Chain A
């Protein structure tokens, strides 16, 4: 487009195009224009509850979390089920039967102590290889080898159990003194 007979002071089309390309290059939009646009767009379109919604949602979540966290754990429960070994003789247990002991609920680690005639510690969980411990429960199967009274004790509420003496009265008293939650069940074996 540039003519060969152009005078030096005649602008070529290319120079005009280049000047057009540079036109306004020195101009910048005013400082803070983005904020003004956002304010103009956001302010009238958002209702009061739009501003309150995040706070309300946060408060609701906190309340739910508080309720969940503060909900008391299920109470300590001790269940003993007798599995009869030979002849079935009603509800009574007899020597050779197996007591299936399940302790659940309570707050903190659980423990099981089993005494015969309240003076002989037959089994303790944890500590006995027959114990089965899970988050939901502590279970153990005990063979009722002798006639007499078996006392099953369930405990929870502490990480450190008191030292055992082997007698029901002393051990449960120490446990209660230590603040543990204690349940017991007795089973008479014929």
Chain B
């Protein structure tokens, strides 16, 4: 648990952008893992198996939240200030991060998951295929399409022109 708990939590936290919900989902992930442990065949790694559970729970939580809310009002949408254009100023890491967080929320949840698994968690596309039950090529295409979208979104938020 200690070995994977932090990385699972960070994935949940960034995918859901809601700390309380992420804590709840992370707990559900490990409870499910304990209960399903006898079914774990060992064909994938424990990390891959845990993230498959986490991905499923995160997507479920995101879907439930969308149903419960008529408008998006997550903590980060409310609290993250729009960095705004800063002509002539080099885009620093913090402004980039803030813009990136906002832009991720504009992607579909399954794409956010693919991007986070790839770059935040460092999974290969083959490992991601085990996690997401998708073909590696499909996931690679999702990520490849997401990056230009993110870049364009960040440029817009930080004042750059595409």
Contacts and interface: CB of A to CB of B under 8 A. Distances in A.
Interface of A: 1, 7-11, 13, 15-17, 19-25, 27-30, 33-34, 36-37, 40-41
A28 to B, nearest CB: 6
B81 to A, nearest CB: 17
Contact of A11 (B26, B116, B151): B151
Given A23-B97, A23-B120, A37 B34 contact: yes
B113 interface: no
A37 B25 CA distance: 11
Interface in B83-129: 86-91, 93, 96-97, 100-101, 115-116, 118-120, 122
B117 to A, nearest CB: 10
A162 B112 CA distance: 94
Nearest to A34: B1
14 contacts: A9-B160, A10-B155, A11-B155, A16-B96, A19-B93, A20-B118, A20-B119, A20-B120, A21-B119, A27-B10, A28-B6, A34-B30, A37-B1, A37-B30
Given A9-B160, A28-B9, A16 B31 contact: no
Interface of B: 1-2, 5-6, 9-11, 13-14, 19, 23, 26-27, 30-31, 34-35, 86-91, 93, 96-97, 100-101, 115-116, 118-120, 122, 147, 150-151, 154-155, 158-160
A40 B27 contact: yes
B160 A16 contact: no
A24 B160 contact: no
A23 B158 contact: no
Given A9-B90, A33-B26, A19 B31 contact: no
B10 to A, nearest CB: 4
Main secondary structure of the interface of B (DSSP, over half): helix
Most buried by B among A16, A33, A34: A16
A9 B2 CA distance: 39
Contacts of A9: 86-91, 158-160
Contacts of A37: 1, 27, 30-31, 34
B100 A16 contact: yes
A24 B11 contact: yes
A25 B116 CA distance: 12
A-B pairs with lowest CB-CB distance, top 7: A20-B119, A24-B10, A29-B9, A41-B34, A37-B30, A24-B14, A9-B91
A1 B146 CA distance: 14
A78 B105 CA distance: 95
Nearest to B30: A37
B153 to A, nearest CB: 10
Nearest to A13: B147
A45 B83 CA distance: 50
Given A10-B151, A21-B122, A23-B101, 8 more contacts: A7-B160, A9-B158, A10-B155, A11-B160, A19-B97, A21-B120, A23-B97, A24-B14
